[in-house]
């Protein structure tokens, strides 16, 4: 079932085009948004979180239109949003911060609010830090607190802007487990620079570049973009800039086959790099 439909969405900041006519349909499950710096990911997520109005185009969420004030209020009741820089008040304790956000989310019954704050603290494994002030939490713990506030009120759509940034491997595992659980029944849209996150978590992947969607499909189809274009060779390939030496001491090249190279199975990252390379060439033409 489609939760979010985006049609011809455009957003400019002065002469910068952040979104250039984005079309997208997102349904229940976890969708990953990949793209280089400045691709427009945060701008798109902010538009969907109703934190930013686009210049043109339309969005429908749960069949509602965020441009209509009454619909916007209803949408806000049904979404959770973790911005890129959540700006958590440093002097609040983790508990008080969540309690405050829960009030903003209209959970007015005190007992219900207490239970909900405790629930999300437990979800992100911060129960034992409930009374710690935000400024005393580690970066990863703050990120978990940011996720916790997005989960308050059990939203139908969870929008996460780079949720795994700055997490150690253990915390990343915790996030992955949590996000994949969420995605069983809800729509989760997350941006990331980690292609491993996409492979591990996402049923769908959207790649953006230059304010446009340049790929939409399954992670394995993104890997497939580089099918027959990834090579391993014992010697550095001549004339190719796109190679690196892997842990086995072999040279991995993306593009044309170097002399004496063997074909390698492409991964998501290979497909992503191919796609951006190809797009860059198309844009340059």
Ligand X SMILES: Nc1ncnc2c1ncn2[C@@H]1O[C@H](COP(=O)(O)OP(=O)(O)OP(=O)(O)O)[C@@H](O)[C@H]1O
Residue ranges binding ligand X (CB under 6 A): 13, 16, 18, 35, 37-43
Please identify, using beta-carbon distances, which residue of 38 and 277 lies nearer to ligand X: 38
Shortest distance in whole angstroms from residue 167 CB to ligand X: 16
Shortest distance in whole angstroms from residue 48 CB to ligand X: 12
Give 130: exposed, middle or buried? Use CB within 10 Å, 0-12, 13-18, 19+: middle
Please identify, using beta-carbon distances, which residue of 39 and 61 lies nearer to ligand X: 39
Strand-strand pairing, 243-245 and 157-161: unpaired
Strand-strand pairing, 157-161 and 79-82: parallel
Considering all CA atoms of the chain, what is the largest pairwise distance in Å, rounded to the nearest integer? 70
Token duo for residue 57: 């185009």
Shortest distance in whole angstroms from residue 253 CB to ligand X: 26
Q: In what order do the strands lie in the sheet with 2-13?
A: 16-27, 2-13, 56-61
Rounded Cα–Cα distance for residues 238 and 60 (Å) = 50
Shortest distance in whole angstroms from residue 40 CB to ligand X: 4
Please identify, using beta-carbon distances, which residue of 155 and 210 lies nearer to ligand X: 210
The CA dihedral of 279, 282, 283, 285, to the nearest 10 degrees, is: 160
Please identify, using beta-carbon distances, which residue of 42 and 253 lies nearer to ligand X: 42
Please identify, using beta-carbon distances, which residue of 23 and 262 lies nearer to ligand X: 23
Q: In what order do the strands lie in the sheet with 157-161?
A: 79-82, 157-161, 187-191, 29-34, 204-209, 212-217
Rounded Cα–Cα distance for residues 261 and 246 (Å) = 14
Please identify, using beta-carbon distances, which residue of 51 and 67 lies nearer to ligand X: 51
Shortest distance in whole angstroms from residue 123 CB to ligand X: 25
Shortest distance in whole angstroms from residue 41 CB to ligand X: 4
What b-and-e string marks burial along 89-108, b requiring 16 or more CB atoms within 10 Å of the CB? eeebbbbbbbbebbeebebe
Shortest distance in whole angstroms from residue 53 CB to ligand X: 13
Rounded Cα–Cα distance for residues 216 and 154 (Å) = 27
Shortest distance in whole angstroms from residue 56 CB to ligand X: 16
Q: Using DSSP, state whether 10 is helix, strand or coil.
A: strand
Please identify, using beta-carbon distances, which residue of 42 and 233 lies nearer to ligand X: 42
Please identify, using beta-carbon distances, which residue of 13 and 169 lies nearer to ligand X: 13
């Amino acid at each position: 079932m489609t939760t979010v439909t985006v049609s011809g969405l455009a957003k400019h900041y002065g002469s910068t085009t952040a979104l250039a006519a984005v079309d997208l349909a997102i349904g229940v499950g976890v969708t990953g948004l990949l793209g280089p710096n400045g691709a427009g990911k945060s701008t798109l997520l902010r538009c969907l979180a109703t934190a930013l109005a686009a210049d043109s185009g339309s969005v429908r969420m749960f069949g509602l239109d965020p441009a209509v004030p009454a619909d916007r209020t209803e949408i806000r009741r049904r979404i959770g949003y973790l911005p890129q820089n959540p700006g958590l008040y440093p002097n609040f304790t983790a508990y008080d911060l969540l309690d405050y956000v829960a009030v903003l989310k209209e959970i007015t019954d005190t007992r219900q609010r207490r239970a909900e704050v405790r629930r999300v603290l437990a979800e992100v494994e911060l129960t034992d830090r409930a009374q710690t002030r935000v400024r005393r939490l580690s970066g990863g713990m703050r990120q978990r607190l940011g996720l916790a506030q997005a989960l308050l009120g059990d939203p139908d759509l969870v929008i996460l802007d780079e949720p795994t940034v700055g997490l150690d491997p253990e915390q990343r595992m915790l996030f992955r487990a949590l996000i994949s659980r969420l995605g069983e029944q809800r729509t989760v849209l997350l941006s990331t620079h980690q292609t491993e996150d996409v492979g591990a978590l996402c049923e769908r992947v959207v790649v953006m570049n230059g304010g446009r969607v340049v790929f939409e499909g399954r992670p394995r189809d993104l890997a497939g973009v580089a099918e027959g274009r990834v090579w391993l060779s014992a010697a550095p390939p001549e004339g190719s800039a796109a190679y690196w030496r892997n842990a086995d001491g072999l040279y991995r090249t993306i593009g044309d086959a170097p002399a004496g190279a063997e074909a390698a199975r492409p991964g998501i990252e290979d497909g992503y790099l191919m796609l951006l390379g190809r797009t860059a060439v198309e844009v340059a033409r």
